[in-house]
Structure 1
Amino acid sequence: MSTTQQILPKKEVTTFAFALCHFVVDFACVSTMLCAVSRVLGESGQGSMEVVALSILLYDIVAFTLQLPIGIALDQLDKNSYAALLSYALVGAGVVLSLVPIALLEWPAILLLAIGNALFHSAGGLSVLNISQKHAGPSGIFIATGAIGVFLGTQSAQMGRLQIAFSLLVLLFLCALITLVVQKVNKKYWNVHNVTFDIPRLSSNTLLAIALLSLVVALRSYVGMVMAFPWKSEMLLLVLSILGVFAGKALGGVVADRIGFRTTAIFSLIVAATLFVPSWEIPVMGLLGVFFFNFTMSITLASLANILPNAKGTAFGLASFSLAVGALPALAGFRIEHPAMLSGISLVSALALGVGLTLVKDSVATGPFGHERMLQAAQVAEAVEEDNLIAELSDQVDELAVEDECAAEDYLAAKDYLVAEDKQVED
């Protein structure tokens, strides 16, 4: 490995660059929706609150569902960095257009924000999955920063529109610079690209596993929409709960890479189900429950990408589409806000993940508790054995070469001897 590649490791640089940009994009979109779009629509006249609710619903549906077709397209185009750059431009255009105090212009602003958001998630997510090497850690870190961006976006609603818009445009410009630098470094040193797009014929077990993983994503989305703890009205506890979401998403993949996808998923969800029972009355239990419940985010995403290794953008889009499906019941008013519901969904998710990951254990190294580390050790041992075999063959080749060299020397010596004998006979 070259010195430059050691200083700029592709996994760490790509992950943290796009994670930072993810924070900015989500912050920009949510802040603009609440600080500008909702404010203008809210002042538009009769029925304004219904219009605001409709605008948020439109944004959510477009931003999440569009990631599936975009992911399919990016899998084949292999233009992830250019797509990310375009996403910053679209979001920036939405920010600028939202400043015009005309209600009709807020709708195209919403579409610009939603399409830009979808485009960035697909491009950034695919770029991170490309360097993940089947691990869940990078995708967890990439996704986690969005929670902070959404939270700060909601808190910025009281700020002046011009002030926040200028700040967002500067941040989006910095994201474009970061993406350009990563693109240049990749082109010069890493040479990471999408693999050739292909979705093979999937077995019934694999299709069932994909359905179960998508179900878990949808359930997690629904829980996130209705997780209304009574103590979240206190700012400190609200901040801690957001940090719990961030930490759970970021650390879940790291833990899963060390002790196994299935082990981590089942353990974290059972712990979350237990902690959710007293979570309404005991805030610390709820905070810990939120932390463990979000462990599975990176596991489901990485598993889908491992099942579809030649269509990672499609896998990312499928996960995002499932998020939209899970959020729809809550957005439509079907909300069950009770700790028993949180515990029940956690246990159902644990069962679904346990079964789903078992069905694809050949594609995703998720075997029984701790089996992944045994598998890794076996792979290392196999590699060492191959190296030893190659070394032995090399030694044998060297020995043959030496023998051939000696034989050649003997042949030449014998030939010289015979020539000398012939000369003596002639004399």
Structure 2
Amino acid sequence: MSSALTHKRVWSKLTTSALLLGIVHAFVDTASGFLIFRDLPTGRMPYPTVVLLVVLYNSLAFGGQVPAGYLADRLGSYRGAAIFGALAAATALLLSPTWPVVGIVVVGIGNAFFHVGAGALVLRASGDRATESGVFVGPGALGLFAGIWLGAHNLPARGAIVAALVLSVPFMVLVARSVRPSRTELPVPRGGVLLLVIICAACLLGSVTVRSLVGGTIAGTWRGVSTEVMMVLAIAACGGKMLGGIVSDRLGWTTISVGALVLSAPLISVLVGTPVGAVVGMVLFQMTMPVILKAMHHVLPGRPGL
């Protein structure tokens, strides 16, 4: 599948709006990383319990996007979902020093609602472009790294993160007002092809799962070994997602996605233990993310939240 908008500008007002939402995305993920690495009482809880709490967070933050997206689609309130998610993340940071389990639950739910709400705003407005999706999702990697680093080093960043999330609300309101649904030039699946839609959705969700596992494998290889490489990997993940959307719209979704995936395979499987191999592999592999998001939206055009 190739883009039909190669004649349009690489950067537009909509792209700037997507970037602003992407910055809030970074704040939300910073809150999650900070809470987990700062507030989970590893000294007072058995290690298996801490692991279960991390699994609980992942289940809510990622698995929770399905019911959160369904609810946002039903209500048609994507701006409300995004704002609720950001404020929930801020609230979780205030609760977690006293009630860490409650904080984990609240930040997980907030993360899910923000992602589906803000993501749906971007998907609906971007037509058949993947650029805006990449610009939105990219900063999350930087935010997560920042939160983990700040939390692991016990730095007093809680107030600043809460303030950033609260102050982002009026900006989200303004951005959401400026973002309007756009018509797409891509063919929309017609009625009577429900089975095909389900199969395509399952394949796309599977690709998201594989992408997450591989990204975690690359980062896990260097976690605890080199903070510098981990920071560069976060920058690479952000840059790969943003670059992937932009380049895919210029040269074609299939060409870039398949090409990046093929080129990343030997780097991830053989050279992941070297800094250059890990970083280049991360960039190439993450380039597929914005296209996956837009492909999923194409399969379910009436359900941008889901």
TM > 0.5 fold call: yes
Distance 2:123 2:114 in 1: 14
2:89 counterpart of 1:91: yes
Q: Which of 228, 253, 260 is the equivalent residue of 1:268?
A: 260
> CA, structure 1 residues 159+281, in 2 after alignment: closer, same or farther (shift >3 Å)?
closer
SS in 2 for 1:126: helix
Contact in 2 for aligned 1:10/1:131 (Cα 8 Å): no
C-alpha contact (below 8 Å) 1:71/1:123 kept by paired residues: yes
Match of 1:165 among 137, 150, 158: 158
Alignment of 1:302-341 (within 5 A): 302-314=294-306
Contact 2:200 2:299 in 1 (8 A): no
Give the alignment partner of residue 80 of structure 1, picking from 78, 81, 85.
78
Is contact 2:263–2:284 with CA below 8 Å preserved after alignment?
Answer: yes
The DSSP-based 3-state class of the residue aligned with 2:95 is helix
| 2:209 is the counterpart of 1:218 | yes
Cα distance change, pair 231–27 in 1 and its aligned pair in 2 (3 A): closer
Instruction: Name the counterpart of 1:285.
Output: 277
Equivalent residues in 2 for 1:14-413, closer than 5 Å: 14-36=17-39, 38=40, 41-45=41-45, 48-100=46-98, 105-160=99-154, 163-183=156-176, 185-186=177-178, 191-192=180-181, 200-227=191-218, 228-229=220-221, 233-280=225-272, 282-314=274-306
Task: Please give the alpha-carbon distance, in whole angstroms, between the structure 2 residues aligned to 1:254 and 1:265.
Answer: 12
Distance 2:122 2:28 in 1: 16
Query: 1:181: Cα distance to partner?
Result: 2.2
- The secondary structure found in structure 2 opposite 1:311 is coil
Instruction: Give the share of equivalent positions with the same residue, in percent.
Output: 25
Cα-to-partner distance string for 1:105-162 (whole Å, 9 max, x where unaligned): 222211111111111001010011011112111111111111001111110124547x
The answer to which structure has the higher helix fraction is 1
Counterpart AA for 2:43? E
Q: Is the 8 A contact 2:215 2:282 kept in 1?
A: no
Indicate how the Cα distance of structure 1 residues 76 and 99 shifts in structure 2: closer, same or farther if over 3 A, else same: same
Q: Distance in 2 between matches of 1:201 and 1:151?
A: 44
Equivalent position of 1:333 in the other structure = none
Q: 1:156 to 1:307 in 2, by over 3 A?
A: same
CA change 1:193–1:265 in 2 (3 A) is closer
* Alpha carbons of structure 1 residues 174 and 201: separation in structure 2 relative to 1, 3 Å: farther
Q: CA deviation at 1:230?
A: 5.7
- Decide whether aligned partners of structure 1 residues 280 and 259 sit closer, same or farther in structure 2, where only a CA change above 3 A counts: closer
- Residues 94 and 113 in structure 1, CA contact (< 8 A), matched pair in contact too: yes
Cα distance in 1 for partners of 2:217, 2:273 equals 17
Shift of the 10–70 alpha-carbon distance from structure 1 to 2, 3 Å rule, reads farther
Report the TM-score when normalising by structure 1.
0.63
Secondary structure at the aligned position of 1:130 is classed as helix
Instruction: Provide the C-alpha distance between the structure 2 equivalents of 1:276 and 1:106, rounded to a whole number of angstroms.
Output: 35
What displacement does 1:229 show?
A: 3.4
Tell me which structure has the larger Cα radius of gyration: 1
Tell me the CA shift for residue 281 of structure 1. 5.3
Alignment-mate amino acid for residue 79 of structure 1:
S
Q: CA deviation at 1:267?
A: 0.7
1:199 and 1:311 in contact (8 A); partners too: no
> What 5-or-longer segments of structure 2 have no aligned partner?
1-11, 184-188
Judging changes above 3 Å, is the alpha-carbon distance between structure 1 residues 193 and 76 closer, same or farther for their aligned structure 2 residues? Answer: farther
* Counterparts of 2:248 and 2:143, CA distance in 1: 25
Matches of 1:63 and 1:158, distance apart in 2: 20
Q: Any unmatched runs of 5+ in structure 1?
A: 1-8, 315-427
Two-structure CA RMSD over aligned residues (Å): 2.5
**Deviation sequence 1:212-265 (CA, Å, 0-9, x none):** 222211111111222243697223322222221111111111111111111111
Report the alpha carbon displacement of residue 294 of structure 1 after superposing the two structures with TM: 1.0
Name the CA distance, whole Å, in 1 between partners of 2:104 and 2:236: 29
Give the structure-2-normalised TM-score: 0.87
| SS at 2:206 equivalent | helix
Q: Secondary structure at the match of 2:271?
A: coil
Do the aligned partners of residues 191 and 264 (structure 1) sit closer, same or farther apart at CA in structure 2, a change above 3 Å counting? closer
Q: Aligned equivalents of 1:92 and 1:231: distance in 2? A: 26
What displacement does 1:177 show?
A: 2.1
Q: Call closer, same or farther: CA 1:89–1:271 in 2, change over 3 Å.
A: same
Q: Flag the 1:272–1:166 CA change in 2: closer, same or farther, 3 A.
A: same
> How far does residue 200 in structure 1 lie from its aligned partner after superposition?
4.3
- Aligned counterparts of 1:127 and 1:230: Cα–Cα separation in 2: 34
Count how many residue pairs are aligned between Structure 1 and Structure 2. 291
What whole-Å deviation, never above 9, does each CA across 1:261-299 have from its counterpart, x for those lacking one? 111111111111133354145431232111111111111
